[in-house]
Structure formats: C-alpha cells, structure tokens
Amino acid sequence: MNIPRLKVLVVDDEESIQKILKHYFKDKHEVFTSNNGQEALTWMYDGNVPDFIIADINMPVINGFDFIEELKSSGFFSHIPLIILSGIDKSDTKIKCLEAGADDFMTKPFNPRELEARLNSIMKRTKLTQSN
C-alpha cells in the first residue's frame, strides 16, 4: 500500500530539525514548518489543514503538551495524526503525550527513515479505520 503525497506540518523551534525533515520528505510529501504551537495553530485556523503533524515538546509560546491538547480538543483538527519528536527521553513524558492524544513518540536524535516508517504505519491504520 503506497502512501499518497501528504501535507506534513513540522512544528519545532529548532531550524535544523525543520531543514532535516523538509529535505528528507521533499520528494514524497509537501512539508510546511512552524516554530511553535501558536504559529502552527494560527496557520491551521487560517485554512491550512495538514494530513500529518510532527511536533516537538519544548517550544516557546505554546509547548507541545498544550499544542496536543488544543489540537485534540478541536473539532476541526482532532483527527490529524500526530507524532511527537522530542529530546526528552522520560517515560512519564512519553506517556503524558500518548494519553493526551499523540499517535506516537520518538526521541531525538532520530533516524528519518524510522520516522517515515512510523508515519506510514499510522497513515495505513488511519485509512483503514476511516474506510471501515
């Protein structure tokens, strides 16, 4: 099953992470970037709806936890799959994110191929769920 070209939103205040993901996914997906949760939400409320979101936890203005909460409580965006990509490697942080509604959690440094495999796996499950 091939994953179609997706609109992927990367929400991370580290420009290097934005560049890595933009470069890695450029041939497969359309990648948009935001520096924090507030910027991402504003972009989305302006009518841009991504197919998938990759977000950090430690960000200025709106952090990752608040971003997940805002996203999942929204009638417009609660269905969008979300992977948290964070430098925090604590089990309680991972659990908090997953319980708040994140679909997966990966720790930085990361392998972009593993991130892509997780994204594809989530998208396959999401498509299967929507078609049943």
Closest CA relative to residue 110, chosen from 90, 91, 87, 83: 87
Report the CATH number at residue 80: 3.40.50.2300
Residue 2 covered by a domain:
no
Q: How many separate domains does the chain show?
A: 1
Residue 73 covered by a domain:
yes
- Give the 3-state secondary structure of residue 30: strand
Residue 1 covered by a domain:
no
pTM, to two decimals: 0.93
Residue 51 covered by a domain:
yes
What is the model's pLDDT at position 126? 79
Residue 23 covered by a domain:
yes
Residue 33 covered by a domain:
yes
> How would you write the pLDDT of the chain (132 residues) with one tens digit per residue?
566 789 999 999 999 999 999 999 999 999 999 999 999 999 999 999 999 999 999 999 999 999 999 999 998 999 999 999 999 999 999 999 999 999 999 999 999 999 999 999 999 987 755 544
Residue 38 covered by a domain:
yes
Entry field: residues in the chain: 132
- Give the 3-state secondary structure of residue 75: coil
Q: 46 lies in which domain range?
A: 7-131
